[in-house]
């Protein structure tokens, strides 16, 4: 029927379609734009505004403009800021590098053709769908000192586990690391696998005709091809691992003795439990600036999107 209309009045069709060719894109991004201005841009600005205030719900008499006092305190008089920043760096670097190496290996394996590939993929990727809180739940069950995995190991005569690995300052880092790896590796594996699909098979064929072995093919074909995907996914993951608090909040609560408190977790504790919104906002601003700075440096150093083959 649309065809009939087109035949009857041919000139009308293009006019109707391009009624507002200038306004249409703005109309289309309006919902997203308004939501982001209202619920991202405005809150970001108010975080910065709060950071210049004394704003503590429990001490309302002190509230008011504070200038840069909050910032001065962070850099001169807050050991916890530096220790949580240090732990954040340790956490992000450990997570991202291990996730990348394991994820790459996993992607290369499940990119091969073998019997049972579909089901294996679905299974090894499944932790990706699991939340931080659920990951904590699962690993709390595994790490539990009286009924967990270690108990069965001890019963079998392998090792001696008196306390939970989560309450020992010496083991808690690796315990938390393993549980985060469990759900983080699939993220890399999926992204890398997606990119592996687009490597031209002819390249490998040509290379093997020329006598290049699998390792040389990997170094000279696969890795260069994956370059941008790897740079981008490590950056996204690093930002995410830095910002996310779900897992550590529920798995260790930042403990024992504060050794697993990341900077965002420290901010959340200061703001939500300590009600010191002004100081928490200043910490937030500092965290954001550090993150942005590191990201820009990283993209520059890695020459993202640069000329390569």
Partner 1 sequence: MTAALAEKTPATPPPAAEVTPPAGNRRRGRERSYDDVPRWQIYVPLGVYLLFTLIPFYWMFLFAVRPAGSTSLAPWPMTGEHFEKVWTERSFAVFFQNSMIVGIATLIATTLVALAGGYALARFDFKIKGAFMLALLCSQFIPGALMLVPLFEIFKNLQMINSLGSVVIAETVFQLPLSIILISGFIKNVPVTLEEAAWVDGCSRFRAFCAVVLPLLRPGLIAVGSFAFVHSWNHFLFALMFLSEQDKQTIPVGLNTLIGADSVDLGALAAGGVIAAVPVVIIFAFIQKWLITGFSAGAVKG
Per CB under 8 A, contacts with partner 1 among 173-232 are 182, 190-191, 193-195, 197-198, 204-205, 207-209, 213-214, 217, 228-229, 232
Report d(CA 82, CA 162) in Å as an integer: 32
Please, what is the minimum distance in Å from the beta carbon of residue 245 to partner 1? 5
When binding is defined by CB under 8 A, the residue of 36, 93, 219, 257 that contacts partner 1 is 36
116: left (phi over 0), alpha (psi -120 to 50) or beta: left
Sort strands 64-65 and 53-54 into parallel, antiparallel or unpaired.
antiparallel
Residue 58 near partner 1 by CB under 8 A: no
Please, what is the minimum distance in Å from the beta carbon of residue 279 to partner 1? 11
Residue 32 near partner 1 by CB under 8 A: yes
**Residue 104 CB neighbours (<10 A):** 21
Please, what is the minimum distance in Å from the beta carbon of residue 144 to partner 1? 7
When binding is defined by CB under 8 A, the residue of 35, 219, 223, 297 that contacts partner 1 is 35
By beta-carbon proximity to partner 1, the closer residue of 172 and 287 is 287
Contacts of 79 (CB under 8 A, 6+ apart): none
By beta-carbon proximity to partner 1, the closer residue of 140 and 259 is 140
When binding is defined by CB under 8 A, the residue of 68, 75, 82, 152 that contacts partner 1 is 152
- Cα-based distances in Å from 245 to 23, 87, 211, 241, 268: 41, 13, 49, 8, 9
Residue 297 near partner 1 by CB under 8 A: no
By beta-carbon proximity to partner 1, the closer residue of 75 and 246 is 246
The 110-149 site mask, x for binding partner 1 (CB under 8 A), equals: x-xxx--xx-xxxxxxxxxxxxxxx-xxxxxxx-x--x-x
What tokens were used for 168? 């020992």
CA proximity to 190, closest of 240, 237, 251, 148: 237
When binding is defined by CB under 8 A, the residue of 81, 91, 161, 277 that contacts partner 1 is 277
Q: Which of residues 60-99 bind partner 1 (CB under 8 A)?
A: none
Report d(CA 191, CA 230) in Å as an integer: 8
By beta-carbon proximity to partner 1, the closer residue of 254 and 264 is 264
Report d(CA 10, CA 2) in Å as an integer: 11
When binding is defined by CB under 8 A, the residue of 85, 268, 279, 282 that contacts partner 1 is 268
By beta-carbon proximity to partner 1, the closer residue of 58 and 112 is 112
Q: What is the CA radius of gyration of the chain?
A: 26
By beta-carbon proximity to partner 1, the closer residue of 45 and 93 is 45
Strand partners, 56: 276
Query: Where are the extended beta strands (E) located within the chain?
Result: 53-54, 64-65
Q: Which residue has the tokens 């291990």?
A: 98
When binding is defined by CB under 8 A, the residue of 80, 171, 243, 302 that contacts partner 1 is 243
What tokens were used for 283? 């910490």
């Amino acid at each position: 029927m649309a065809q009939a209309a087109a035949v009857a009045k041919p000139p009308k069709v293009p006019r109707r379609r391009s009624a507002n060719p200038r306004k249409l894109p703005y109309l289309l991004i309006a919902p997203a734009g308004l939501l982001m201005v209202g619920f991202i841009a405005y809150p970001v600005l108010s975080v910065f505004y709060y950071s210049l205030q004394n704003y503590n719900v429990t001490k309302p008499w002190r509230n008011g403009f504070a200038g840069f006092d909050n910032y001065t305190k962070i850099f001169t008089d807050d050991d916890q800021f530096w220790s949580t920043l240090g732990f954040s760096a340790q956490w992000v670097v450990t997570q991202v590098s291990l996730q990348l190496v394991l994820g790459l290996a996993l992607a290369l394996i499940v990119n091969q053709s073998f019997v049972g590939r579909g089901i294996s993929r679905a299974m090894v990727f499944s932790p990706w769908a699991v939340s931080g809180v659920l990951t904590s739940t699962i690993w709390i069950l595994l790490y539990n000192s009286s009924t967990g995995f270690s108990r069965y190991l001890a019963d079998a005569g392998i090792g001696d586990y008196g306390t939970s690995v989560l309450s020992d300052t010496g083991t808690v880092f690796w315990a938390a690391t393993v549980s985060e790896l469990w759900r983080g590796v699939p993220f890399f594996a999926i992204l890398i696998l997606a990119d592996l699909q687009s490597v031209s098979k002819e390249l490998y064929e040509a290379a093997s005709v020329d006598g290049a072995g699998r390792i040389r093919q990997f170094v000279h074909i696969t890795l260069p091809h994956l370059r941008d995907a790897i740079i981008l996914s490590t950056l996204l993951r690093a930002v995410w691992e830095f910002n996310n608090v779900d897992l550590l909040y529920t798995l260790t609560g930042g403990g024992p003795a504060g050794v697993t408190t990341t900077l965002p977790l420290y901010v959340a504790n200061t703001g939500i439990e300590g009600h010191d919104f002004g100081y928490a906002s200043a910490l937030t601003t500092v965290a954001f600036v550090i993150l942005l700075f590191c990201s820009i440096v990283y993209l520059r150093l890695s020459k993202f999107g640069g000329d390569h083959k």
